[in-house]
Amino acid sequence: MPDLTTQYLGLTLKSPLVASASPLTGEVGSLCALEDAGAAAVVLPSLFEEQLRLESLDLDRWLSHGSDSFAEALGYFPEMESYNLGSDGYLGLIERAKNSVSVPVIASLNGVTRGGWIRFARSIERAGADALELNVYDVQTDPTRTAGDVESATIDLVREIKSSLRIPVAVKIGPFYSSLPAFARELQLAGANGLVVFNRFYQPDFDLEELEVTPHLRLSTSGELPLRLHAVAVLFGQVRTDLAVTGGVHTGRDVLKSMMAGANVAMLTSALLERGPVYLKTVHEEIVTWMEEHDYHSVREMQGSMSFRSVADPAAFERANYMKMLRSYAWRDATTPP
């Protein structure tokens, strides 16, 4: 039986299978089902700072900034009280989860201001979370705010939170950075224990009949995985933080690819929402079967085996791969019989 043990955020996990934030991880019953099916750790749903502000009756004042020029934008903001448990309920969920499952419980916080992040991060630690995932979801629309401004704000945030906590901190980021390796290194220097690659960018759609902007949520597929594999393969060996792949992990082969790119863990969300917690057993069996067939004795043997660190000149490799990809496509006129 291959050894699937891995290390993530200073925690020893029995396998790289982590159930990421979703409605499944927001209830103790489904958390227990996930553990029974093989989840090595669980990430609770994100608590949004807006919920904390709503509870303090400060939301209207916060949203009113700029409302004179774009008041209709306020109508887009959801009724956050219906999203999940609120601050007290979230802390209670952490406590109940810790009393109900033996695997590590990772809390998730999605904030917008340093004060809000830090205050509640401390409460999350006191509630007993084993680690904290900072969900950085900051879509910029201000043309006067530069990329450097955005990155510096995130780095400062991580530094302040780390200085306030004893538990490990992972940062969940998106793919839209000009130099991901440089940004990742700055996050590492700020104290990040792990990077979660990548946050999915949920893009709205347009309703042409009602002329409204509407929410549009599509679950991931394995087709989204290569973007994550590429990023982790680049980061492995260049940063000293742990690496987690999330988004596009659906099968045992997806998990194996993530490990070979250099990830410590692979996080599943959409696959579990579609097939239920018990699907983790199938993924686990696929991993074990493949490792036995290919004579791998442990996950540690394969971690980073297909990363860019094994290439003498990664930049040259990238350009060669780009040209090879373009040449590999053979166009055929659809009107011409095969």
Q: Give CA–CA dist 41/102, Å, rounded.
A: 9
Contacts of 87 (CB under 8 A, 6+ apart): 47, 51, 52, 55, 120, 123
Is the pLDDT confidence value at 39 over 80?
A: yes
Contacts of 148 (CB under 8 A, 6+ apart): none
Find the helix or strand (DSSP H, E) in which 286 lies.
helix 279-293
Q: Which one is the CATH code of 6-310: 3.30.428.10, 3.20.20.70, 3.40.220.10, 3.40.50.1000? A: 3.20.20.70
Is the pLDDT confidence value at 215 over 80?
A: no
The pLDDT of residue 76 is 46
Instruction: State residue 195 phi and psi, 5-degree precision.
Output: -125, 135
Average of per-residue pLDDT values in the chain: 86
Contact 47, 90 (CB under 8 A): yes
pLDDT mean over 106-124: 82
Percent of the chain past pLDDT 90, that is, above it, reads 64
Give the model's confidence band at 204: pLDDT under 50 very low, under 70 low, under 90 confident, else very high: confident
* Sequence ranges of the domains in the chain: 6-310
Supply the pTM of this predicted model.
Answer: 0.87
**Rg of the Cα trace of the chain?**
21
